[in-house]
Amino acid sequence: LQCRMECRDVPAETLYDVLHDIEYRKKWDTNVIETFDIGRLTANSDVGYYAWRCPKPLKNRDVVTLRSWLPMGSDYIIMNYSVKHPKYPPRKDMVRAVSIQTGYLIEGTGAKSCTITYLAQVDPKGSLPKWVVNKSSQFLAPKAMKKMYKACLKYPEWKQKHDPHFKPWLFPEQSRLPALALSELSLQHADSLENIDESSLAESKEDRGEGSDEDS
């Protein structure tokens, strides 16, 4: 899945902050169930947990990912892939998905504009029905990008009131995360996880009714 969006009135560095800021994500990402950072590996890489709601009647998903980032002048890259962490095994109430390789490329196109390219190679586990796959590529990714764009417009004002100088993704010395050793982690391969067959599930009436923009 690849998605690209031009962001007017949003500087590249603001978009970069929004993608990193886990406290702000809890405010604007209406699909998030739970998200937290587990630990840091280096000045520009950490490990985190993210669980999100899936459209009914599918089970909700979660991932544990190793994320690394690189600022390059007015451009930024964020990449992540799934890892196993001994303290965060798959949960009974979720399906553990696998991020084979997911990334964002933010390119500054002016003082107050940028483009973002989102690339996702994810195995959501479970045999998914065709309607989910179609909906994901046609509606969900572009919709999520639009929601992120709106979040970017409101971020400077929000950040002013919430720990405005705390940005450990820019200033690694601010990080409060415990140090992790790479030896504690291993790659999460899709074939080692339980395969849940959801291919016969039909879309529920509420979800087909396209709902309001907020709950999708």
- List helix spans (H) across 56-164: 130-135, 141-161
Q: Return the half-sphere exposure (C-beta side, CA atoms, 13 A cut-off) of residue 195.
A: 9
- Residue-level pLDDT at 209: 47
- Say which DSSP state 126 is in: S
Q: What's the confidence (pLDDT) of residue 207?
A: 53
Q: Do the beta carbons of residue 147 and residue 29 sit within 8 Å?
A: yes
pLDDT at residue 203, rounded to an integer: 66
pLDDT, tens digit only, all 216 positions of the chain: 788 999 999 999 999 999 999 999 999 998 899 999 999 999 999 999 999 988 777 889 899 999 999 999 999 999 999 999 999 999 999 989 888 888 999 999 999 999 999 988 877 666 666 666 666 666 667 788 899 999 999 999 999 999 999 999 999 999 999 999 989 998 888 777 766 666 666 666 555 544 434 433
C-alpha closest to that of 196 among 9, 54, 78 = 54
Phi, psi of 41 (to 5 degrees): -100, -50
Query: 1-186 domain in CATH 3.30.530.20?
Result: yes
Question: Residue 216: its pLDDT value, please?
Answer: 35
Predicted confidence at residue 122, as pLDDT, reads 73
Residue 118 · residue 3 · CB < 8 Å: yes
In the prediction, which pLDDT does 55 show? 77
Q: How far is CA 52 from CA 34, 60, 96, 103, 139, in A?
A: 7, 6, 11, 18, 17
